[in-house]
Amino acid sequence: MKTYLNKIIKFSNVDGPGNRMAIFFQNCNFNCKYCHNPETISLCVGCGKCVEVCPSKALEKVGNEIKWIEKNCIQCDRCTEICSHNSSPKVKNITVEELLNEIRKVKSFIKGITVSGGESTLNYIFLTELFKRIKEEFPKLTCFVDTNGSLNLSDEKYKDFVNITDSFMLDVKAWDEKEHLDLVGVDNKNVIKNLKYLLLIKKLYEVRTVIVDKYLNNELTVKEVSKIISNADIRYKIIKYRSIGVRESMKNDLKIPTDIRLQELKEIANSLNVKNALVI
């Protein structure tokens, strides 16, 4: 079994509890206007444009595929900048065993792993196997999933995956369905369903909402999420939209909120008894 890996951060303290290995998969089923890593959205189509701009012979076109020669790469990012398919040639097609080998190297220094993306849950069969192997080999490590909430996790199909996952971190990008559709290209029915479901089964570690001034009804989203997680032991991250990494073509609609506005939203969450709301 193989899947596409974008990158690994060996040690992260912002992707769940404690020091964790954060694993980013390639491919997403949302196309968020404010995506900071748009090169993780799609799989490479092998057009070869990036090969032409690489200054250090780190890319080769082999048939319809691009071979990334990591040792030659100087991480200049010219390849991702030129790609018009929201992709990257610096992606590895990896097996569960290969990923386990990476975890083995750092197992003594981490509390667990967090899978992210792209959208990690699109690889739920791969992840079920990976988490099963982690539980067998490193029983102390926890397995967390960072998700956009697009798959209906209460469906029988995902039962084994949800059971083996220790906890989820869920993005609730917009409460209003039309707004969500406009922001990411998909409605939010499953996101809201998952918010309630993961809370019910006690597998919700954290909820996140990115605040974009003027464009999104942030207050509605913060209020509705807060009502649901009110009094529960769940962290609510109210995240300031920042333009770093965002596609130029998307920036016009998006305004950075003021710190005062972010604090007001945090106070709304607090007033609705969110136990652990924080602005980042």
Q: Which positions lie near ligand SF4, rule CB under 6 A?
A: 44-50, 54, 56, 58-59, 66, 73-79, 82-83, 85, 87-90
Rounded Cα gap, residues 106 and 109, in angstroms: 6
**DSSP code of residue 256:** P
Of 45 and 181, the one with the shorter C-beta distance to ligand SF4 is: 45
Of 80 and 142, the one with the shorter C-beta distance to ligand SF4 is: 80
Per the omega criterion (within 30 degrees of 0), is the bond before 16 cis?
Answer: no
For the record, the structure tokens of 272 come out as 């609705």
Least distance in angstroms from the C-beta of 120 to ligand SF4: 20
Of 70 and 156, the one with the shorter C-beta distance to ligand SF4 is: 70
Look at residues 3, 215, 224, 35 and name the one whose alpha carbon lies nearest to residue 124: 3
Of 108 and 249, the one with the shorter C-beta distance to ligand SF4 is: 249
Least distance in angstroms from the C-beta of 117 to ligand SF4: 17
**DSSP code of residue 36:** S
Neighbours of 230 (CB within 10 A): 13
3-state helix, strand, coil in the chain (%, to 5): 40, 25, 40
Least distance in angstroms from the C-beta of 254 to ligand SF4: 24
| Structural contact between residues 129 and 96, judged by C-beta atoms closer than 8 angstroms | yes
Least distance in angstroms from the C-beta of 39 to ligand SF4: 8
Least distance in angstroms from the C-beta of 85 to ligand SF4: 4
Of 51 and 212, the one with the shorter C-beta distance to ligand SF4 is: 51
CA dihedral angle for residue 168, residue 278, residue 229, residue 128, rounded to 10 degrees: 0
Alpha-carbon separation of residue 197 from 17, 112, 141, 143 (angstroms): 21, 23, 24, 18
Of 79 and 172, the one with the shorter C-beta distance to ligand SF4 is: 79
Least distance in angstroms from the C-beta of 66 to ligand SF4: 5
Neighbours of 12 (CB within 10 A): 18
